[in-house]
C-alpha cells in the first residue's frame, strides 16, 4: 500500500455523521497523526432523554475510534449489558430508546459535565481523551440544534422519526431548529481558518440528516467555498441504494433520484472532488458534472478498507490542491 503522499504538515478536516461517516473517520485517524486531523460531527440528532443529553453521532464516532463500537448495530457499544433498560421497560418508562449500561455511564458523565457548565466541545474532548482517542473530535456546534423531520404524520423530532417510528413516515422536509442562531464550534472554526489546511473531506454520511445540519451553521458554507484547500466528498450511495440507513428512501420521498450524482448536485459548488464507487463511474461520467470524479471501491467492510479509502481521499485532495489553477 503506497504511503499517503499528502504533505505531512497539512491539517485535514472531516465532516461526518454516524455510521458511514464514522468508518471513514476511523480510516483517516489511522492515516493521519492526531495533530493533522479534526473530525467535526453532526449533533442535530442530539436529544434530551430522561434528563440525559444523547449525542448519537458523536458517540458513534467516539466508540468507533476507541474500538468500543458494537460491530453490527451501528450505534452503542460492543459487549454491552441491558440491566438498566430492562428495569426501564418493566416500569414502562420510554422503553423505545435503548441505553445500554456502559453507554448509560457515558451519558451520566456527560450530563454532569454539562451541568457543571462545560461546553459540549470540552465534554467531548474529555470523553474522547478518556477513551484513548488522540485525534480531535468535536461537535459541529456547542449550541442546541435539533433536526426536525416534516412527515405525512406532521413534524417529528429526529429520534422519534428515526427510532420510535423506524423511519416509516414519509419525509416531506427537514428543518434544523436553532441552526441559524448557532455558532460553529471552536474546532470547526479553527480548522476552517488553518493556513495549513490541506483539504476538507465530507464523509459518506446521510447528506440531508448528517451533513446539512453542519452546512446550515452560519458562515460554514461560505467558509468552505472560500477555502483554497480542496473540498471533497465520498458518495454515501452505491448503485442507487444507500450503504446504510434510510438515505435512499428519504431521497425518493424528497423527490430526488437516489444516486451518487444527485448527492453531488446536492452539495453543488461546495465540492472540488467527488469519490464515487466504480459501479457508478459510467453514469457519473455521462452526467457531465464539471467536478473532478474519482472512482474507487467505497464500500468499507474491514479496517483496511477504511484506511485505504482514507488514503485515497487524502491523495485525491493533495492532487487537486496541486492542480494548476484554471485561473477562473
Closest CA to 77 of 138, 112, 127: 127
Of residues 46 and 142, the one with the C-beta less far from ligand FO1: 46
Q: Indicate which single residue of 159, 247, 261, 318 sits in contact with ligand FO1 (rule: CB under 6 A).
A: 159
Report in angstroms how near the CB of residue 31 gets to ligand FO1 at its nearest: 24
63 is a site residue for ligand FO1 (CB under 6 A): no
123 is a site residue for ligand FO1 (CB under 6 A): no
17 is a site residue for ligand FO1 (CB under 6 A): yes
56 is a site residue for ligand FO1 (CB under 6 A): yes
C-alpha cell at 22: 464514522
Q: Which stretch binds ligand FO1 (CB under 6 A): 31-39, 71-79, 179-187, 228-236?
A: 71-79
Helix (DSSP H) and strand (DSSP E) numbers for the chain: 13, 14
Q: Which residues contact 280 (CB under 8 A, 6 or more apart)?
A: 235, 237, 238, 239, 259, 260, 261, 295
What values do phi and psi take at 197, rounded to 5?
Answer: -65, 120
45 is a site residue for ligand FO1 (CB under 6 A): yes
- SS3 of 160, please? helix
Q: Indicate which single residue of 76, 198, 213, 236 sits in contact with ligand FO1 (rule: CB under 6 A).
A: 76
Q: Which residues contact 107 (CB under 8 A, 6 or more apart)?
A: 52, 53, 54, 99
Closest CA to 41 of 217, 193, 177, 160: 217
Of residues 57 and 277, the one with the C-beta less far from ligand FO1: 57
Of residues 198 and 207, the one with the C-beta less far from ligand FO1: 207
Of residues 47 and 316, the one with the C-beta less far from ligand FO1: 47
Q: Which residues contact 66 (CB under 8 A, 6 or more apart)?
A: 128, 131, 132, 133
| CA–CA gap between residue 30 and residue 19 (Å, rounded) | 17
57 is a site residue for ligand FO1 (CB under 6 A): yes
Of residues 32 and 69, the one with the C-beta less far from ligand FO1: 69
Of residues 162 and 267, the one with the C-beta less far from ligand FO1: 162
Of residues 61 and 270, the one with the C-beta less far from ligand FO1: 61
Report in angstroms how near the CB of residue 57 gets to ligand FO1 at its nearest: 5
Whether 267 and 276 have beta carbons less than 8 Å apart is answered as: no
Report in angstroms how near the CB of residue 98 gets to ligand FO1 at its nearest: 4
Report in angstroms how near the CB of residue 42 gets to ligand FO1 at its nearest: 8
139 is a site residue for ligand FO1 (CB under 6 A): no
Build a one-symbol-per-residue string for 91-110: x at contacts with ligand FO1 by CB under 6 A, - elsewhere: ------xxx---x-------
- SS3 of 79, please? coil
Q: Indicate which single residue of 75, 161, 267, 274 sits in contact with ligand FO1 (rule: CB under 6 A).
A: 75
Q: Please list the alpha-helical segments (H only) found in the chain.
A: 19-31, 56-65, 83-90, 101-115, 120-130, 158-159, 186-192, 212-215, 220-226, 247-253, 260-267, 281-286, 303-321
Which spans of this chain sit near ligand FO1 (rule: CB under 6 A)? 17-18, 45, 54, 56-57, 59, 74-76, 97-99, 103, 159, 162-163
Amino acid at each position: 500500500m503506497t504511503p499517503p503522499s499528502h504533505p505531512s504538515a497539512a491539517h485535514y478536516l472531516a465532516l461526518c455523521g454516524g455510521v458511514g461517516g464514522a468508518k471513514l473517520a476511523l480510516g483517516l485517524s489511522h492515516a493521519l497523526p492526531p495533530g493533522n486531523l479534526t473530525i467535526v460531527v453532526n449533533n442535530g440528532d442530539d436529544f434530551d432523554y430522561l434528563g440525559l443529553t444523547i449525542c448519537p453521532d458523536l458517540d458513534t464516532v467516539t466508540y468507533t475510534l476507541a474500538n468500543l463500537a458494537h460491530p453490527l448495530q451501528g450505534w452503542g457499544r460492543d459487549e454491552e449489558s441491558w440491566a438498566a433498560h430492562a428495569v426501564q421497560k418493566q416500569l414502562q418508562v420510554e422503553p423505545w430508546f435503548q441505553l445500554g449500561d456502559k453507554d448509560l455511564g457515558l451519558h451520566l458523565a456527560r450530563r454532569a459535565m454539562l451541568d457543571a457548565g462545560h461546553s459540549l466541545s470540552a465534554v467531548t474532548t474529555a470523553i474522547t481523551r478518556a477513551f484513548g482517542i488522540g485525534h480531535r473530535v468535536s461537535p459541529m456546534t456547542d449550541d442546541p440544534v435539533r433536526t426536525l423531520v416534516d412527515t405525512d404524520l406532521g413534524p417529528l423530532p429526529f429520534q422519534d422519526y428515526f427510532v420510535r417510528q423506524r423511519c416509516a413516515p414519509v419525509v416531506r422536509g427537514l428543518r434544523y431548529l436553532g441552526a441559524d442562531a448557532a455558532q460553529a464550534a471552536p474546532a470547526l472554526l479553527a480548522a476552517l481558518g488553518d493556513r495549513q489546511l490541506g483539504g476538507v473531506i465530507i464523509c459518506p454520511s446521510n447528506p440531508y440528516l448528517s451533513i446539512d445540519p453542519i452546512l446550515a451553521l452560519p458562515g460554514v458554507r461560505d467558509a468552505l467555498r472560500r477555502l483554497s484547500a480542496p473540498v471533497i466528498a465520498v458518495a454515501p450511495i452505491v448503485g442507487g441504494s444507500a450503504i446504510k440507513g434510510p438515505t435512499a428512501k428519504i431521497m425518493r420521498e424528497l423527490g430526488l433520484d437516489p444516486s451518487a450524482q444527485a448527492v453531488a448536485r446536492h452539495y453543488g459548488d461546495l465540492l472540488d472532488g467527488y469519490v464515487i464507487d466504480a459501479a457508478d463511474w459510467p453514469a457519473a461520467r455521462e452526467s457531465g458534472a464539471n467536478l473532478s470524479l474519482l472512482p474507487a471501491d467505497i464500500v468499507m467492510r474491514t479496517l483496511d478498507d477504511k484506511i485505504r479509502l482514507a488514503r485515497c481521499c487524502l491523495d485525491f485532495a493533495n492532487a487537486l490542491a496541486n492542480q494548476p489553477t484554471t485561473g477562473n
